[in-house]
Structures are given as C-alpha cells and as structure tokens.
Amino acid sequence: MVHRHHPENSHSPSMQPHSGQHNAEPQDTAVPANPPQNSSPVTLNAMQEGERSTQKQLPAASEHPMSAPHMEALIQQHQEENNRIKYELTAAKEHSKFTLEAEKKIGKLKEQKAGLKKEVSFLHEKGMHLQN
C-alpha cells in the first residue's frame, strides 16, 4: 500500500501514520471510538435515525483528505458501530417477536376468562331457577 502525504497535512498529529497501530483512535472525527452503551433497549426508530445521521455525515467526511492509517481506523470504528447496531436491531426484533406472542397469548387468555365468566354466570342463573 502506498501512503501519500499531503504537505498541508504533514504537521497534523492525527494525520501522521501510527507506527503500525491500525486501531488507533483518530483525533479529528466526530464519531466516538467507543460509543456509550445504553442500558435501555434501543428502539428501531432510534437506530434508523442513527443510520440517517451517519448517511448525512458521509458526504462531509469524504470532502476531507485523510491518511491511510486514519482511514483504516475510521473504517474499523464504523464497522464496529455497524455490528453493534445490527446486534441491537436483532435483539429488538426478537424482543418484538416475543412481545407480540405474549400479547396474543394474553388476548386468548382474556377471551377464555370472559367465556368462563359467562359460563359461571349462566350456571348461577340455572342454579337459581332450579331452586325456585
């Protein structure tokens, strides 16, 4: 791989090659290397908004020339973020699936309860008629 250095970038510490460290954290990017972990489940809408935000940032990022190590580190960060989002999306879909199944089961149980309540009421009426 050929590394080209632009003279205007040669004085910037974040643009210098990092002695073989490809996972070095770039200094001039708006994307955090380790985004804060949320203890609450991420909603699908929040993940989609994050994707839209990333899509908006890509054109601006492509306008700034970067060194190869910096680009590799940025790519690694984006891949890690993408993997984390995929994992959270899968978990959210599974949670949604189980929630939907639970709601269906609750609905069936409510129907059964209503049916049993009607039957008990009917049996009470029938019992009263038999006593009279």
pLDDT digits (tens, 9 = 90+) for 37-85: 444 556 778 878 888 887 777 776 666 666 888 888 999 999 999 999 9
Q: Is a pLDDT exceeding 70 seen at residue 16?
A: no
Q: What is the dihedral of CA 23, 28, 29, 34, to 10 degrees?
A: 50
Residue 33 lies in a domain: no
Tokens 């890690």, located at residue:
80
Residue 29 lies in a domain: no
Residue 68 lies in a domain: yes
Which 3 state secondary structure label does DSSP give 48?
A: helix
- Residues 26, 12, 25: CA angle, nearest 5 degrees: 10
Question: Would the pTM count as exceeding 0.85?
Answer: no
Which 3 state secondary structure label does DSSP give 42?
A: coil
CA distances from 90 to 14, 25, 39, 109, 126 (A): 35, 28, 16, 29, 54
Q: What is the DSSP letter of 33?
A: S
Residue 23 lies in a domain: no
Which 3 state secondary structure label does DSSP give 59?
A: helix
Residue 106 lies in a domain: yes
pLDDT-based confidence at 88, cuts 50/70/90? very high
**How many domains are contained in the chain?**
1
Mean pLDDT of the chain: 73
pLDDT of 63 reads 66
Say how far apart CA 92 and CA 86 lie, in whole Å.
10
Q: Which residue has the higher pLDDT, 101 or 33?
A: 101
Determine the structural domain holding residue 58 and report its residue range: 43-131
